[in-house]
Every structure is written in C-alpha cells, then in structure tokens.
Amino acid sequence: MSLFRSEEHVREWCAKNNLGMDGLLSLAQVWGMAQAWYSEDRRSAEWKRKSKDEAQTLFTSLGLTSAFWQL
Amino acid sequence: MSTELDVLVRKTVYDSILTRGVVPLKTALAAQMGLDVSDVGESFQRLADAHMFVLQADGEVRMANPFSAAATRFKVRAGADEWWANCIWDALGVSVMIRREAVVESHCPDCGESLILEVTKDGPRASSAVAHFAVPAAHWWDDIVFT
C-alpha cells in the first residue's frame, strides 16, 4: 500500500499503470486499520492473527465494502 | 510443530526490533536463545506458514509486520530511533506498536515528491496525502511484498 501526495496523484498513477481506483483510502481509514491491526502486543503468547472474518468486519467498519475489499 | 518455541522466537524477534531496531538473523537469534540455527530456521518457517513472518529466499526474516528487514519506501522515526515499514498501513502501525509519536518519511509513486507525515497518538496530522492499494484484498498474500 503506497502513500500518494493527493487523490489526483493516485488517479494519474493508476491511469499510467492501468490500475483501478478501488483501493483508494483516506489517512483516517489507514489509521483505523493500523490501530486495529497493531494495538495488540505481538510479543504476547496470547497474540493471534486476526481471522478472515475479523479482518472483513474491520474493513466494513471503516466503510471498505466494495468487492475490492472482499477477502 | 513447536508452539512454545515459536511464541518465544516471535517474542525475541520483536524484542530485538523494538529495543535495537534490528530484525535478527537466524545465527544471532540462535546464539542469543541457545538454540541450533536449524531450529530457528524451522521456527521461522512455521511462523511464515502462519502468515506471522515473511521470509526471504535464504530463510531470513524479510517482514515481521509492521517492520521490514529491508529498506523500503517507508521509514519511521521516533526520536533517535528508526525502523523500515512495509507499507503506509504498516508505517502507521509502527507508531501504534511503539506507542510513541513518530514521523513517516515516504515519497509519492506518481511524482516522486518526498512526503512527510507526522503521527501523534491520535493519528496522522492533517494532510492532502491519501493511500492506495494496487491489489484487491483477496490477493494480498499472492505476493505480499508487492501488495
């Protein structure tokens, strides 16, 4: 996942590389993903990767509901 | 399968990254933990099979998310400490994991311009920057380094 200067720069880059815009995210959405994914201490014996369902629920909670975000 | 060993290996790898900024090699980890290098290598492989690590072709750790052993387009600084992250999701994830304010240094793939994001405990400061995934979610693990 890349960071772009603005949405216009994503649009230009996607056009040059024949890619869709479906994977566009605001910084607030990425922050939500980062908090959900990395708040738990991975040094803990109890830590477990999020399940597919948990990840899908997270995406939905952040408004990422298009086919692009289906796991 | 050695669950207890894998938990300990995972903890020791993250300890090294968080306290020294270094993703440890198999030999260093084996020496530190008093294990055979082959035992560490097998543990790395089990952790990779469980999508907890991503390995290089030589079996060393490439990714212990959110951290990268290799230089990337995402450097995260917090005070005098710095780490490489795998992507912008992981770069913000480093700030979450270290529980410190941080600065993410990257550049725009379209124009090449340097991008600096200040990240507080409440998230990135206001910016026109946005993120983009090139690969649909269902295919991220087809090539996680590219994704």
Of A24, A49, A59, the CB nearest to B130: A24
Domain assignment of residue B84, yes or no: yes
What pLDDT, on the 0 to 100 scale, is given for residue B90? 97
pLDDT single digits (tens) B47-60: 999 999 999 999 99
What pLDDT, on the 0 to 100 scale, is given for residue A7? 97
What pLDDT, on the 0 to 100 scale, is given for residue B145? 59
The candidate with the shortest Cα–Cα distance to B131, out of A36, A10, A66, is A10
What pLDDT, on the 0 to 100 scale, is given for residue A66? 94
Q: Are residues B22 and B55 in the same domain?
A: yes
Identify the CATH number of the domain in which residue B100 sits.
3.15.10.60
Q: Please list the ranges in chain B whose pLDDT falls under 70.
A: 1-2, 143-147
Q: Which residue of A has its CA nearest to B114?
A: A5
Rounded Cα–Cα distance for residues B74 and B91 (Å): 6
Residue B24's domain spans which residues?
A: 3-64
pLDDT single digits (tens) A4-59: 999 999 999 999 999 999 999 999 999 999 999 999 999 999 999 999 999 999 99
Cβ separation of B89 and A19 shorter than 8 Å? no
What pLDDT, on the 0 to 100 scale, is given for residue B139? 87
The candidate with the shortest Cα–Cα distance to B67, out of A52, A55, A58, A37, is A37
Q: Which residue of A has its CA nearest to B93?
A: A34
Overall number of domains in chain A: 1
- For A44, phi then psi, to 5°, come to -75, 140
Is B57 touching A (CB cutoff 8 A)?
no
Overall number of domains in chain B: 2
The candidate with the shortest Cα–Cα distance to B9, out of B26, B18, B21, is B26
pLDDT single digits (tens) B51-85: 999 999 999 999 999 999 999 999 999 999 999 99
Q: Are residues B27 and B59 in the same domain?
A: yes
Residue A45's domain spans which residues?
A: 7-65
- Give the Cβ contact number of residue B108 at 10 Å: 20
Domain assignment of residue B147, yes or no: no
Of B104, B137, B147, the CB nearest to A71: B137
| ipTM value greater than 0.85 | yes
Domain assignment of residue A43, yes or no: yes
* Interface A:B, Cβ pairs < 8 A: 143
Number of residues written out for chain A: 71
Identify the CATH number of the domain in which residue B48 sits.
1.10.10.10
